[in-house]
Amino acid sequence: MIPELGHFALVLALVIALVQAVVPLLGAHRNRLALMAVGRPAALGQFLFTGFSFACLTWAFVVNDFSVEYVAMHSNTATPLIYRITAVWGSHEGSLLLWALTLSLWTVAVAVFSRNLPEAFVARVLGTLGWIAVGFLAFMLVTSNPFTRLIPGAAEGRDLNPLLQDPGMIIHPPLLYMGYVGFSVAFAFAIAALLTGRLDAAWARWSRPWTTAAWVFLTAGIALGSGWAYYELGWGGWWFWDPVENASFMPWLLGTALIHSLAVTEKRGAFRSWTVLLAIGAFSLSLLGTFLVRSGVLTSVHAFATDPRRGLFILAFLVAVIGVSLLLYAWRAPKLAGGGSFAFVSRDTALLGNNVLLSVVSASVLLGTLYPLFLDALGLGKLSVGPPYFEAVFVPLMTPVVVLMMFGPFLRWKGDELMPALRRVAPAFVASILIGLGTAFAVGHVSWRTVLGLALAAWVVLASLQLLATRLRERAGASAASRLATIPAAWWGMWLAHLGVGIFIIGVTMVGSLENNLDVKMKEGERVEFSGYTLLFRGVQDAPGPNFAAARANLELFRGDVDIGTLQPEKRIYLAQQMPMTEAALDVGLFRDVYVSLGEQLEDGSWIVSLHYKPFISWIWAGCVLMALGGILAAADRRYRRLAERRLPAAAVQAA
């Protein structure tokens, strides 16, 4: 009964989404407030019914209702409760439901936090979001109903893919979807603006916090996914340039360009048609990612079970959403020319330059991801495009981005003198190159990539420090602390996020250049020297889990004669699918991880133990955390300012 209720709620959500898609837009077109006002309650209703439907599916998992096909395929009575709940989004149908729920959540957020926007504008935004919801809910109901019954019901379920039974997977998909789907808000704002023809600084100001928030979620989601791959796949890789990873990375790149472009549009009124195109592009790439994961046109480690009918449906949906919005763009954008003028040497130019570069990187990743498909479709053979290609393309293209990223903030808006600006940054720039070379020599790994990476990281850090010092000097105030306090949160956000890029580069460079790996055969009581550490093998014991059998090794980790702790890597067999899994054990440190995974037992009774030394790898995620924190600060600042604007009249009255 509960699954039927969930199914029914989904149908109702679709009906409400249709109302939300049609009525407010009609109201905005005819200028009828009553019709526009339908948008907010419809958004809420759609959220409630989608949420109810989601709760029903969760319930089916919690009570092990194996008469629901989706539950029977992805859960098991022995699966721990937390993974039965996360199994809701562990595969195609349920993750679509999460998609729809996330979308309705964003829609409700827009409906609630848009009280100070013009009604007609809100109506158009909600209408646009309504159409997207219609597409996804219909997609689910037509091709991928998670509530399909299994008749007769199964006695036992097939369990969730063991790879997904991991704490990282509890939160990674919801974060990622919040990011992906969050770009739909920026997209809807852009469409609404195109419809009204009103694309001004106010529009950019409204869009900014939403876009930044989505970007923060996407950053966190991607970082978490990469962290998951690092410790779950058993050999310490953290990024694979898999089509599905690229599918989340491309919107991130374009989204990064978008938040910067929005800044210029808000502050200077420039780049308007470009900003709109980026907003459409970022969300289009999110949708394209959804298509790639679910259609089966590309092989990927992460791809869902596929069905050509689904692919066709999403493709049609893609054409409808992206095609119509690009048509709208072609119709309206020509009227958007102009904006604030600026000189060749200006912060505006630096931002536009990086925008173009990020778009080129994004397009190149798209090219590499889809090239095998292009070639196959043209009958020119099959090939694979993998990490060597993407690295060869990515590094040279991102280098100028990073250089420009730290140069831009030293330039004034609108126009600046080139030579004085260069003189301002020259010491830091030269010092970075020297530091890059010096450090590479010092760590004994002089390759162009190490030197480049370390120099870039040094450049980011030094320029950040200089930027802060300059900022403090410019501010009036008695003490450094009081001057610090006057710096707005948005500036701190920018500063932190950029610094995060530097920290990230340090992590990537160091681990790429200096990581070390050793596979050994170990018997109880044996030790191994590895990268300055000693590991003592204390044997293997049985460690059965709720739905798996496991062998757990005990390795004591020493540095010198200091006992750092015991590492317990496991080798598991998940019983329902008889699938072997390695659970690596890590000693996480600020400057290095010691990563141990347990392999097979050999005939002579010894075990294969795989040791990895990963210098500075935590810095990769620390960098991502800084970027996300920076985003949070930037988004918070906007909201604060809006509140302040509203409070201002009251304060003025009091003062008078």
Partner 1 sequence: MPADRFLRALRGAAFIGGCLLVAAAFAADAPTAKPLVADPALEARVLDLSHKLRCLVCQNQSIAESHAPLAVDLRDQVREQLAAGRSENEVVDYLVARYGDFVLYAPPFKATTLLLWLGPAALLLAGAGWLAIRLRSREREAAVTLSEAEHRRARELLAGNAAVPPSSKEPRS
Partner 2 sequence: MKAKFLVPLALFLVLVGFLAFGLRLDPREVPSPLIDKPAPAFSLARLDDNSQRFGLEEMRGQVWLLNVWASWCVACRQEHPVLVDLARRQVVPVVGLNYKEVRGDGAIDARRLAPEQELAMAVERARGWLSAHGDPYKLSVLDLDGRVGIDFGVYGVPETFLIDQRGSVRYKHIGPITPESLEKVLLPKIEELKRAG
Which residues make up the interface to partner 2 (CB under 8 A)? 273, 277, 280-281, 284, 291, 295-299, 308, 311-312, 315, 318-319, 322-323, 326-327, 329-331, 333-334, 370, 372-374, 376-377, 381-382, 603
Q: Are 466 and 429 in contact (CB under 8 A)?
A: no
Q: Where are the beta strands (DSSP E) in 543-619?
A: 548-559, 562-567, 570-574, 579-583, 585-588, 592-601, 607-615
Taken in order 178, 641, 193, 39, is the CA torsion positive or negative? Answer: positive
| φ/ψ (deg, to 5) at 220 | -65, -40
Q: Which does 653 bind (CB under 5 to 8 A by kind): partner 1, partner 2, none?
A: none
Chosen residue from 349, 399, 466, 577 binding partner 1 by CB under 8 A: 349
The nearest distance, CB 505 to partner 1, in angstroms, is 15
What amino acid is encoded at 341 in this protein? S
**Least distance to partner 2 from the beta carbon of 150, Å?**
23
Smallest CA-to-CA distance from 94 within 180, 10, 214 is with: 10
Query: What does 443 bind: partner 2, partner 1, none (CB cut-off 5 to 8 Å by kind)?
Result: partner 1
Please pick, from the candidates 141, 202, 373, 393, the single residue that binds partner 1 as defined by CB under 8 A. 393
Nearest distance in Å: CB 591, partner 1: 5
Residue 202 engages partner 1 in binding (rule: CB under 8 A):
no
Contacts of 547 (CB under 8 A, 6+ apart): 76, 78, 79, 80, 159, 165, 574, 575, 576
Query: Least distance (Å) from partner 2 to the CB of residue 283?
Result: 13
In whole angstroms, what is the distance from residue 152 CA to residue 159 CA?
18
Candidate list 152, 197, 381, 649; residue touching partner 1; CB under 8 A? 381
Q: How far apart are CA 522 and CA 601, in angstroms?
A: 9
547 touches 575 (CB < 8 A): yes
Measured torsion, CA atoms of residues 258, 29, 48, 91, in degrees rounded to the nearest 10: -50
Out of 27, 182, 368, 630, which residue is the one contacting partner 1 (CB under 8 A)?
Answer: 368
* 163 lies in the site for partner 1, by CB under 8 A: no
- Three-state secondary structure along 344-390? CCCHHHHHHHHHHHHHHHHHHHHHHHHHHHHHHHCCCCCCCCCHHHH
Number of residues engaging partner 1 in binding (CB under 8 A)? 84
Cα Rg, the chain, nearest whole Å: 27
Give which of partner 1, partner 2, none residue 295 binds (C-beta under 5 to 8 Å, depending on kind): partner 2
Minimum distance, C-beta of residue 384 to partner 1, in the bound complex (Å): 5
Q: Which positions from 242 to 281 touch partner 1 by CB under 8 A, shown as an x/- string?
A: xx-------------------------x------------
DSSP 291-315: HHHHH-SS--TTPPP--HHHHHHHH
Partner whose footprint covers residue 315, from partner 1, partner 2, none (CB < 5 to 8 Å by kind):
partner 2
Residue 603, C-beta contacts closer than 8 angstroms, at least 6 positions apart? none
Q: Which of residues 566-595 bind partner 1 (CB under 8 A)?
A: 580, 591
**By C-beta, is 296 or 415 nearer to partner 2?**
296
Report what 221 binds from partner 2, partner 1, none; CB cut-off 5-8 Å by kind. Answer: none
Q: Rule CB under 8 A: choose which of 67, 196, 531, 601 binds partner 1.
A: 531
Using CB under 8 A, pick the residue from 563, 588, 647, 648 that binds partner 1: 563
Q: Using the rule CB under 8 A, is 417 a contact of partner 1?
A: no
Other C-beta atoms closer than 10 Å to the C-beta of 373 total: 14
The listed partner (partner 2, partner 1, none) that binds 448, CB under 5 to 8 Å by sort, is none
Residue 529: which of partner 1, partner 2, none does it interact with, CB under 5 to 8 A by kind?
Answer: partner 1
Q: Is the dihedral of CA 414, 266, 361, 499 positive or negative?
A: positive
Which DSSP letter does residue 608 get?
Answer: E
Closer residue to partner 1 in complex, CB, 404/484 = 404
Nearer to partner 1, 234 or 630 (CB): 234
Q: How far apart are CA 416 and CA 144, in angstroms?
A: 56
Select 188 or 276, whichever has its Cβ closest to partner 2: 276
Check residue 404 for interaction with partner 1 (CB under 8 A). Answer: no
Partner whose binding site includes residue 656, from partner 2, partner 1, none (CB under 5 to 8 Å by kind): none
Residue 480 within binding range of partner 1, rule CB under 8 A: no
Whether 53 and 10 have beta carbons less than 8 Å apart is answered as yes
Distance CA 311, CA 300 (A): 15
* SS3 label, residue 422: helix
Kindly identify the residues of this chain, within the stretch 182-201, that bind partner 1 according to CB under 8 A: none
Choose from partner 2, partner 1, none: what does 67 bind? Cβ within 5-8 Å by kind: none
Min CB(348)–partner 2 separation in Å: 21
Shortest approach of partner 1 to residue 408 CB, angstroms?
14
Candidates 169-177, 361-369, 476-484, 567-575: pick the segment binding partner 1 (CB under 8 A).
361-369
**Would you say 181 or 303 has its CB closer to partner 1?**
303
Of the candidates 128, 181, 176, the one whose C-alpha atom is nearest the C-alpha of residue 320 is 128
x/- mask, partner 1, residues 487-516, rule CB under 8 A, reads ---------------------------x-x
DSSP three-state, residue 603: coil
Closer to partner 1 by CB, 477 or 532: give it: 532
When the beta carbons of 470 and 516 are compared against partner 1, the nearer one is 516
Half-sphere exposure of 463 (CA within 13 A, CB side): 34
Shortest CB 176 distance to partner 1, Å: 19
Is 344 or 448 the residue whose CB approaches partner 1 more closely? 344
431 binds, among partner 2, partner 1, none (CB under 5 to 8 A by kind): none
DSSP state of 149: B
Strands (E), 490-532: 516-522, 527-530
* Partner touching 31 among partner 2, partner 1, none, CB below 5 to 8 Å by kind: none
Minimum CB–partner distance for residue 333 and partner 2 (Å):
5
Nearest to 243 by CA among 297, 281, 284: 297
Q: Which of 305, 529, 565, 648: binder of partner 1 (CB under 8 A)? A: 529
CA distance 363 to 341: 28
